[in-house]
Amino acid sequence: MEALLLGVGLLLGAYVLVYYNLVKAPPCRGLASLRGRTAVVTGANSGIGKMTALELARRGARVVLACRSRERGEAAAFDLRQESGNNEVIFMALDLASLASVRAFATAFLSSEPRLDILIHNAGISSCGRTREPFNLLLRVNHIGPFLLTHLLLPRLKTSAPSRVVVVSSAAHRRGRLDFTRLDRPVVGWQQELRAYADSKLANVLFARELATQLEGTGVTCYAAHPGPVNSELFLRHVPGWLRPLLRPLAWLALRAPRGGAQTPLYCALQEGIEPLSGRYFANCRVEEVPPAARDDRAAHRLWEASRKLAGLGPGEDAESDEDSQSEDPGTPSSPSSPHPEEPTASELYPSPQNSTDRSTVKRRIPVKAELEPQAC
């Protein structure tokens, strides 16, 4: 009996050590008040996104929940208004798998919202489920959709500066290896899905890095954030039904609650003094080094150019021209008779390395080692 009690005690002690050192997230203690500021959180109807939006609403921000499902999005907005006491929580429809939906969201937002101080790309998928598309659905939802949305909203971010963009990534980026010859190929089977998910998370980290370079001096900073191991819908969404009852108790014991998962994205959105770390990757509310593939500036720029084509952005369609068109008539949506460029095929996307821009002539703005380390949460 004594040996049994000793064993149970050791197990409990080990669990407590693991939980408080690896699982439990440090709380974010960023800006206390966000009154007069506007934030957009994608995928905010549940999980990490909903908890992120709740904390922003509690601080007084006007929060736009950008979600695919109108029913779930409006229900989440109602819940957050009730829980936060902030009536400025609204739903706007956004389906990141559809470039037309991304453009429609941007048009509606720019015509109705005078500010954008915080843009948090939280929405994501880990599997294609039963959906079959002629493109890489994981890359579309996790990277290309957010890339296009950021591009379209940049004019408002710049006029609201200082402002921030947070891209929720994952430690899975360490397993990512981008193959630019098949970047947008359809994903079939669970093995390809695992690879495509890791690749999309690597794309998130490289996107934040290149975006920081593109935006230096504008007052807009950006960060990649790893929420940690989180017990959210993303974890169980594609698990077979018979397996879920077995995994739920384990997930409850070993994974963070969504509120804990929201802490690092919130830190990146709110913490003062981390502007010199724009473009870096954060985990557990502190900057973390990434593997060579995630700090490859040439690959980051090549991904940027490929993403522009995958997003249907023409060579003359940049943030400045978007800003000019909005200033001319901010209330008029784009005409349905003037469609955006057709989505390109994979064979059109990838210039050879010999023909790509020579990045050695571009000044790198993101050091591998930053002199400034952020404060602990």
User: In whole angstroms, what is the distance from residue 79 CA to residue 64 CA?
Assistant: 13
- Token pair recorded at residue 154: 């940049």
For 158, the 3-state DSSP assignment is: helix
DSSP string, 233-279: HHHHTTS-TTTHHHHHHHHHHHSB-HHHHTHHHHHHHH-TT-GGGTT
User: In whole angstroms, what is the distance from residue 126 CA to residue 145 CA?
Assistant: 15
Annotated active-site residue 197? The verdict is yes
User: In whole angstroms, what is the distance from residue 145 CA to residue 139 CA?
Assistant: 8
Which of the following is catalytic: 19, 197, 267, 350? 197
User: In whole angstroms, what is the distance from residue 143 CA to residue 137 CA?
Assistant: 10
35-44 in b/e form (b: 16+ CB < 10 A) is eebbbbbbbb
Question: Which residue has tokens 């710049």?
Answer: 158
Cα-based angle 279, 24, 13 (whole degrees, multiple of 5): 140
The residues annotated as belonging to the active site are 197
